[in-house]
Structure 1
Amino acid sequence: MAYWLFKTEPDELSIDDLKAEPSRSFLWDGVRNYQARNFLRDQVQLGDQVLIYHSSCKPPGIAGIARVSRTAYPDPSQFDATSPYFDAKSTADNPRWVAVDVQFEQKFDQLLMLDMLKKYTKLANMPLVRKGNRLSVMPVTDDEWHAILSLKALSPQD
C-alpha cells in the first residue's frame, strides 16, 4: 500500500462531502498536469490511502483521509464539452487524462493547516511544503505519513 496527497477545492469536493456518504465512491477527476496524471495512471493502486488536502481556500490544509476504491480509468470530464476539464484532443481510443475513485476513511478533528505543516521539520522534504512543488496528486513517504498522523494526534479536539 502506498500513501498519497490529493488536493481539492472544498467547494468542488470536500472531506465533508466524502463523510456525508461514507459507503459511496467519489470520482476524482479534473487532473490536468502530466506528472500528477502519471501518478494516478501508473502508481496509484486499489486500497492506497490518501490525505485529502483542501486548497484554494482560507486556510488550506489536510482535512482527512480517503482510500482509493477504483484505479485509473479515462476521466469522463475530458469528453464533456460543457466541462471546464474538457480536452478536445482526447478521444475514446486515446484518452489523455485519467480519474480514480476515492472513498471516505476519516475526517480529522482539526484541519492540519499548511502554515503548521511548513514549520514541522519532519516534513521539510515533502513537496507540499516546498515552494513551487504543489501538484494536485503527490506521493507521501511512510515517514511523512506517520509524521502527519502524529500531528493529527497532537491537534486540539473539537
Structure 2
Amino acid sequence: MATTFPMTVKGAEALREELNELKTKVRPRIIADIASAREHGDLKENAEYHAAREQQSFCEGRIQDIEGKLSGAQIIDITKMPNNGKIIFGATVQLLNVDTDAEIKYQIVGDDEADLKAGLISVNSPIARGLIGKEIDDVATIQTPAGVVEFEIIEVEYI
C-alpha cells in the first residue's frame, strides 16, 4: 500500500513548477553542456565533462524525487472547507504566547513546504502536533527545546 502524505495546493504547485523547470530548461542545458564537453577530447581528464555529468545526476535525482512526492501527495485545499474554528492541516493560526504576550502567525503545511522564516510549519513539528484539533480561545501547551510554552489561539483562518 502506497503511503500518502498531506500537501497544500500551493506546495504542490511549487513542486510542479520546479519539475517543469528541471525538465524543460535545466535538463536540456546539461545535455548541451555534456555534448560540448565531449568535443574537447579525452574524457578521463575532462573536468567540464565530469562536472556536467555530476549536474545531470543531481538533476535526474531531483526529478525522480519530485515525481515521487507528487504521486504520493494527498493535496488538501483548505479554502474549500467550511471554517469551524478548528485547527486542521493547512490552517493559518494566529497565536499569543501567554508568557511573553508575543503574537505569531503560522500555517500548518506538509514536510516539504515547511519554512519557519516564512511562517510555514510542518504538520509533524511539535508545535503543529500540539495545535491540531484545538479551537479559537483554547490554550495549547507545547514542549519546545526551551521548555514548555503556552499559546492561546486567537484566530484560525482557512486561506
Shared fold per TM-score greater than 0.5: no
Point out which structure has higher relative CO (alpha carbons under 8 A, 6+ apart): 1
Q: TM-score, normalised by structure 1?
A: 0.29
